[in-house]
Amino acid sequence: MYYPDTIQKLIESFSKLPGIGPKSAERLALHVATKMKEEDALSFAKGLISVKRDLMHCSVCGNLTDKNPCSICRDSHRDRSVIAVVEEIKDLIAMEKMREYRGLYHVLNGVISPMNGIGPQDINIPSLLERLKNEEVKEIILATNTTIEGESTALYIAKLLENTDIKVTRIARGLPVGGGLEYADEVTLLKALEGRREIINNNK
C-alpha cells in the first residue's frame, strides 16, 4: 500500500524465505531496488530460475546435482563400500565440509515421522534397499540427526538390515567438542558415558 506494486511483490517473495520477517523483507527488497546493480539482480534472478530448472536429485543417492549421477557418485576415488545415510542435503554438505569422509551417501530427504504422516515409503528408504542389492556395500553409517525422529529412522533402517552381511553403524552421541559437562543435558551426558572409550588399559 505504501510501495509501488513492483516492490510489494518482491517484498512478498523475500518474506516467503525462512527466517526473513516482514521488516527484513522490506529492507532487502528496497536494497535490490535502490542499491543493487542491475546485472547483479539479473544474475540473482537467473540463479533462482536455474536452481529450479537445472537441478535434479541424483538418481543414485538423492543428492542435489546438475548432472546425474552426482559428482560424488561419479567420483572414482571414493570408497564405494561405505554409505552414510543422512536426512537432508545440508547434512551431506556438513559431512563433506569435514573433508575426512571418503565414502558415498544416501540422502533420505526426510525422516520417518508418524505424527506428520511420513512413513518409510515416503522417504528414500526403498531406493536405499534397492541400492544395497546391486552395490558392493560393506558398511552403512546411520548419520541421521540425533533427534527422536532421526533416532527412530536410524533404528528402523538398522532393523531392515538385520541378518545381512552389511555392518551397520550409528554416529557417536556425546559431548560436543568444546562443550562443558555442566551445560550438557542428561540424555547427552548418558550417551557420552555409555559411549566412553578406553584410552589406557592397565589390566593387560
Summarize as ranges the residues that interact with a copy of itself (CB under 8 A).
Answer: 2-7, 9-10, 12-14, 16-20, 24, 26-34, 36, 38, 40-55, 64-67, 70-71, 88-90, 93, 96-97
**Beta carbon of residue 56, minimum distance to a copy of itself (angstroms, whole number):** 10
Between residues 58 and 82, which has the closer beta carbon with respect to a copy of itself?
Answer: 58
For a copy of itself, which is the closer residue by CB, 31 or 167?
31
CB of 163 to a copy of itself, least distance (A): 35
Q: Could you tell me the smallest distance in angstroms from the CB atom of residue 81 to a copy of itself?
A: 22
Smallest gap from Cβ 27 to a copy of itself, in A, equals 7
Count of C-beta atoms within a 10 Å radius of residue 8:
13
Q: Closer CB to a copy of itself, residue 66 or residue 135?
A: 66
Minimum CB distance to a copy of itself, residue 139 (Å):
22
Which three cell numbers mark 6?
513492483
> Which residue shows C-alpha cell 512413513?
119
**Nearest residue to 128 (alpha-carbon basis) of 151, 152, 105, 155:** 105
The answer to whether the CB of 135 falls within 8 A of the CB of 147 is no
For helices 5-15 and 22-34, angle between their N-to-C axes, nearest 10 degrees? 130
- Beta strands (DSSP E) in 32-191 are 56-57, 64-65, 79-86, 103-107, 139-142, 167-170
Q: Which is nearer to a copy of itself, 52 or 159 (CB)?
A: 52
Q: Which is nearer to a copy of itself, 97 or 159 (CB)?
A: 97
For the CB of residue 107, give the shortest distance to a copy of itself in the complex, in Å. Answer: 10
Nearer to a copy of itself, 98 or 200 (CB): 98
Can the peptide bond before residue 120 be classed as cis, meaning omega within 30 degrees of 0? no
Helix 148-160 with 125-134: angle, nearest 10 deg: 40
Write down how long the chain is.
204
